[in-house]
Amino acid sequence: MREDLFKTEKLKVISELAASVSHEVRNPITVSKGFLQLLMSPEVSYENRKSYADLSLKELERAEVIINDYLSITKTKPEKNIVATMEDDVYYIANVLKPYALIHNVKITTDIHNDLLVKYNQHQLQQSLINFAKNSIEAMPDGGLLSVELRSSNSKVIISIKDTGVGMTKEQISQLGEAYYTTKETGTGLGMMVSYSAIYAMNGKIKVESEVGKGTEFQIILEEYQDR
């Protein structure tokens, strides 16, 4: 019952998104085309040529970001679920984000211990953890600490992603997961939407604790898998 309700809701979200994402992607592509056309004209100076090419590339990259954030929600199939402790996945995302953390002057610490099994879609879980952790890193413009933890208690498995970043107000927290909610100049506002949908699809819960100027902790809470 709950599953069916969620599916209907998810389909609705996806079709609404598909409509607006194609619109969102069209903008940067149109702008990029414009710069390429300018490049073709013979009287463009060398400096302008370079700047048109740069701008065109930037716009294409933006289209790519929008597609990356969005596609992760549509391309997964429920039958791809696995049963595992998630330890490998949490290690994986902590490692995969190291270069990104490094350029942002962020140190990553890990504390990963869990022997309870969880049933989950591996691609969706990894994508959503990456989205949470990327936001954490981006919330620390002057560097800081990102701690990634996995632990279990009372047949629940908890992933914690905690930063020492800018933090959020109550009102900002309440908007998390809404499509296109972003406070960043070049944000898509799709990352949290994708992550929240993915975690809810696994019947998981998300807890947010945040203080402006101090930092934020996201807790993703999943039930232990019972094979009965």
The answer to whether 130 contacts ligand ADP (rule: CB under 6 A) is no
Starting from the edge strand earliest in sequence, which strands make up the sheet with 144-153, in order?
A: 106-112, 144-153, 156-163, 215-223, 205-211
Q: Does 166 bind ligand ADP (CB under 6 A)?
A: yes
Q: Binding of ligand ADP at residue 147 (CB under 6 A)? A: no
Among positions 191, 201, 206, 220, the unique one binding ligand ADP when judged by CB under 6 A: 191
**Is 163 a binder of ligand ADP (CB under 6 A)?**
yes
Tell me which residues in 54-113 interact with ligand ADP (CB under 6 A). Answer: none
- Please name the amino acid found at residue 36: L
Q: Which of 56, 114, 121, 135 binds Mg ion (CB under 5 A)?
A: 135
DSSP assignment, residue 121?
E
**What is the spatial distance between Cα 99 and Cα 157, in angstroms, rounded to a whole number?**
27
Q: Is 220 in the site for ligand ADP (CB under 6 A)?
A: no
Residues 6+ apart with CB under 8 A from 64: none
What character string, x for contact with Mg ion (CB under 5 A) and - otherwise, covers 74-103?
A: ------------------------------
- Site membership for ligand ADP, residue 34 (CB under 6 A): no
Contact in structure between 212 and 17 (CB atoms under 8 Å): no
CA distance 156 to 217: 18
Residue 108 DSSP code: E
Residues near Mg ion (CB under 5 A): 135, 191
